[in-house]
Amino acid sequence: MSIRIRRVYEPPEPQDGVRLLVDRLWPRGVSKDAARVDEWPKALTPSTELRRWYHAGEGSYEEFARRYEAELAVPEAAELLEHVRELAGKGPVTLVTAAKTPDESHAAVLARLLG
């Protein structure tokens, strides 16, 4: 199973495989053609409230990750997680995000849960 994380601002590469946008909002300054996103599973993204809480600096990354994992336990998100696992079983999957530090973002939490 191959799951990787890349910033949406980086040009797509052939080894990306299936590209999933894992942000709730479309990234600024990137056209849909340039992003080359195959799927946009919004139910896998952090809620607006959690995203705002984290970006306001009100909590640690560890607390954010714990709260985000709780959000991913709901049935709709759990089904999408299974879908992504199935995709990754067939070939590479790239989680695409606009996060400035992908290793400390929701994309890293998703990659860990999927791996």
- The answer on pLDDT for 104 being more than 80 is yes
* Residue 6 pLDDT greater than 90, yes or no: yes
Residue type, 58: E
> What pLDDT, in 10s, does the model give residues 21-42?
999 999 999 999 999 999 999 9
- Nearest Cα neighbor of 93 from 68, 106, 110, 71 is 110
Task: Supply the pTM of this predicted model.
Answer: 0.93
Q: For residues 74-97, b (16+ Cβ closer than 10 Å) or e, as one string?
A: eeebeebbeebeebbeeebbbbbb
> Tokens 């909002």 label which residue?
25
94: domain range?
Answer: 3-114
What local confidence, expressed as pLDDT, does residue 58 receive? 82
| Stretch 5-26: mean pLDDT | 96
Per-residue pLDDT tens for 58-82?
A: 889 999 999 999 999 999 999 999 9
pLDDT of residue 57: 85
Section 6-10 average pLDDT: 96
| Domains contained in the chain, number | 1
The strands making up 93-97's β-sheet, listed across from edge to edge, are 3-7, 93-97, 18-21
